Amino acid sequence: MISFKKSKKYMSKNLIERLNEGPVLCAEGYLFAMERRGYLQAGSFVPEVVLENPEVVSQLHREFIRAGSDVVQAFTYYGHREKLRIIGKEKLLEPLQKNALKIAKDARSEFKDLDLMVCGDVANTNIYDPKDKKSLVECQKMFEEQVAWAKEAEVDFIIAETITWVEEMKIALKVIKDAGLIAVCNYAFRRDGKTREGISPGEACKVLEDNGADVVGLNCFRGPKMTIKLLPEIRKSVSCHVAALPVPYRTTEKDPGFLNQTDEGCDCIPGGNAFPVALDNLYCNRFEMGEFAKECASKKINFIGICCGAEPHHVREMSVALGRKPISYKYYPDMSKHYAHGTDKTLKKLNTDAAKTL
Ligand SMILES: [Zn+2]
């Protein structure tokens, strides 16, 4: 069992002070990245990889950091009691959570020159039921155990995310604030752009601000365009910092969320729903994500990121769009050196002249 050594405080400023100075970039999406690489199963979506193949999680942390993420998010997402119950492995809960936190902290210590923040994470419990009082207590217990482990690991803040109920989010928020930690609360907004109670994004976020949330906003479900649509109302309704972390898929007015997507160009997807494992043709490219980051910054949305589907190339372009040069900028594209499309004087004219014929 892991016990956390008291570590020196890495961070010079806390999240709020950092946000006061400008955007903070946060790469998420570990679940999808690990599924594509073959380290966890779509459907149950439990991050067993943090126990079975921790080195793979470390590597993705590294790649996101190199790409410019300011935050190392411990991969505890969906590593909660209900998810582990469904695969019959509840006894793994504590080691899984603690391992994920340790992996994130270790990744940060590899990059001592960067002012990185480590965050914990709680998410939709999937047991919340407004009509069942017992479920509210159970929910609270699930959040409490996760927040306690994150606090023990001395995280810089906690994100509560992908929650669709205001009341469930309020339980998570209270647990985080009672632990004395900075809380980022990100809803996932459904097709109708409302919470499960039917509350609008602005109103739902205001409730959180009034209850002590430090950052409010949205993550997951929607692609960049369908996320941007909801941001002005949120920005107008609250005075705290606002977060936006879409999925990198081209979701549309017709289907704003990625949980129900069809791919017109493909007729062999089992069941017809491209979610979650056949979304490839709907992928946003790096430049679309860069534009998203720029637009957020111009709208005073300061906690900017990317959720399920994220890869480091998206994150790097978002970082560059925010005017930065992250570590992996070293290998930023330079097509002037391409043998056919390039402009470098040493290239063979025979090939550059033929570029359009390729
Ligand atoms: Zn997501």
Tell me the H-state helices in the chain: 15-21, 30-36, 49-52, 54-67, 81-86, 93-109, 133-152, 166-178, 201-210, 224-228, 231-237, 286-298, 312-321, 349-352
- Give yes or no for a contact between 69 and 315, defined as CB atoms under 8 angstroms apart: yes
Please write the tens of the pLDDT for every residue from 84-131.
998 899 999 999 999 999 999 999 999 999 999 999 999 999 999 999
pLDDT at position 345 is 96
Residue bearing tokens 């669709």? 164
Give me ligand 1 centre to Cα 9, in Å.
29
Rounded Cα distance between 192 and 33, Å, is 27
- Give yes or no for a contact between 328 and 51, defined as CB atoms under 8 angstroms apart: no
Q: What is the domain extent for residue 190?
A: 15-325
- Assess if residue 5 is contained within a domain: no
150 and 205 in a single domain? The answer is: yes
Please write the tens of the pLDDT for every residue from 300-331.
999 999 999 999 999 999 999 999 999 999 99
344 and 287 in a single domain? The answer is: no
Rounded to two decimals, the pTM is 0.95
Would you state the torsion angle of the CA atoms of residues 140, 142, 147, 149, taken in this order, to the nearest 10 degrees? Answer: 150
Mean pLDDT calculated for residue range 24-45:
96
203 and 344 in a single domain? The answer is: no
- For the chain, the average pLDDT equals 96
77 pLDDT tier (thresholds 50, 70, 90): very high
pLDDT over 70 at 270, yes or no: yes
Give me ligand 1 centre to Cα 164, in Å.
13
51 and 161 in a single domain? The answer is: yes
259 and 125 in a single domain? The answer is: yes
Mean pLDDT calculated for residue range 169-182:
98
113 and 132 in a single domain? The answer is: yes
205 and 346 in a single domain? The answer is: no
Q: What is the CATH number of the domain that holds 100?
A: 3.20.20.330
Please write the tens of the pLDDT for every residue from 118-162.
999 999 999 999 999 999 999 999 999 999 999 999 999 999 999
pLDDT over 60 at 258, yes or no: yes
- Assess if residue 4 is contained within a domain: no
- Assess if residue 9 is contained within a domain: no
241 and 299 in a single domain? The answer is: yes
- Assess if residue 28 is contained within a domain: yes
If one compares 109 and 6, the residue with the highest pLDDT of the two is 109
pLDDT at position 237 is 98
Mean pLDDT calculated for residue range 16-28:
98
Give me ligand 1 centre to Cα 354, in Å.
43
- Give yes or no for a contact between 206 and 243, defined as CB atoms under 8 angstroms apart: no
pLDDT at position 3 is 60
247 and 109 in a single domain? The answer is: yes
pLDDT at position 228 is 98
The residue count for the chain: 358
Mean pLDDT calculated for residue range 261-278:
97
For Cα atoms 157, 162, 168, give the angle at the middle one, nearest 5 degrees: 85
Please write the tens of the pLDDT for every residue from 217-248.
999 999 999 999 999 999 999 999 999 999 99
Give me ligand 1 centre to Cα 7, in Å.
30
236 and 348 in a single domain? The answer is: no
* Choice among 10-14, 87-91, 334-338 with the minimum mean pLDDT: 10-14
Q: What are phi and psi of 242, to 5 degrees?
A: -120, 140
262 and 119 in a single domain? The answer is: yes
Give me ligand 1 centre to Cα 172, in Å.
18
Tell me the H-state helices in 211-285: 224-228, 231-237
pLDDT over 60 at 11, yes or no: no
- Assess if residue 51 is contained within a domain: yes
- Assess if residue 135 is contained within a domain: yes
Rounded Cα distance between 306 and 296, Å, is 12
Give me ligand 1 centre to Cα 220, in Å.
4
Give me ligand 1 centre to Cα 307, in Å.
4
219 and 358 in a single domain? The answer is: no
Give me ligand 1 centre to Cα 218, in Å.
10
pLDDT over 60 at 6, yes or no: no
**What SS3 state is found at 171?**
helix
pLDDT at position 178 is 98
Give me ligand 1 centre to Cα 226, in Å.
14
pLDDT at position 12 is 78
Count of the separate structural domains present in the chain: 2
C-alpha closest to that of 121 among 153, 146, 140, 96: 146
Pairing of strands 241-245, 24-27: unpaired
